[in-house]
Amino acid sequence: MKEKASRYIILASTSPRRQELIASLRIPFEIMGSDADEDTPFGWSPDMIVETLSLRKADAVYRKLSEASGSAVIVGSDTIVVLEGDILGKPADEQDAVRMLSGLQGRTHKVYTGVACVDAETGRSIVRHRVTSVRMKPLSEEEIVSYVRSGEPADKAGAYAIQGLGATIVDSIEGDYFNVVGLPLSLLSDMLEEMGITVLG
């Protein structure tokens, strides 16, 4: 029990949003960017993409670690937006962000987030994903351009951030809110429990 109590998390992400969410669990954690390749073959299903990339990120950090990190659990995560079968990642530029948001406005899309946990001591991994439906408000071209010019969409899957200014353009969601932010905490806490880290303990 003493060893489990000293376990900590290494977040394989430099995303400020994921850092804020992981901090809310009140478990000691470190940040280590993965620099993992995020390319996936054409034709992969959304769940396969987010689960594969989450594990790829966590594994990349696992390979960087020394034996002294044995009590850590590495957490990798990946989020994509899916609109009627089309996968939307991060926009390439402002024009791309306008294109994405124009397609999303007034419609319902799905947000997939994958989560991978890797035990730094044994290399054992758990990988899962969660899906949330999001309905976007009907927006004018002026509103879309104004939002894009705020800079917020730049590094966000689907070109919006539900926890920021983007909250004003979302009509409703069905499912886990934190999944849309980028890290489903309820799912993660269950996975950490399996790795010997109790969140509410």
Strand, helix or coil at 76?
A: strand
The whole-model pTM stands at: 0.91
Q: Which two three-digit tokens encode residue 99?
A: 């294109």
| Spans of the chain below 50 pLDDT | 1-5
Say whether domain 2-194 belongs to CATH 3.90.950.10: yes
Domain regions of the chain by residue span: 2-194
Question: Beta strands of 84-169 (E only): which ranges?
Answer: 86-88, 108-119, 125-136
Residue type, 125: S
* pLDDT the model gives residue 138: 96
From the candidates 59, 78, 119, 176, which is the catalytic residue?
78
* pLDDT the model gives residue 3: 41
* pLDDT the model gives residue 68: 64
**183: alpha, beta or left, given left = phi > 0 and alpha = psi -120 to 50?**
beta
- CA 159 to CA 4: how far, in whole Å? 39
- The answer to whether residue 119 is catalytic is no
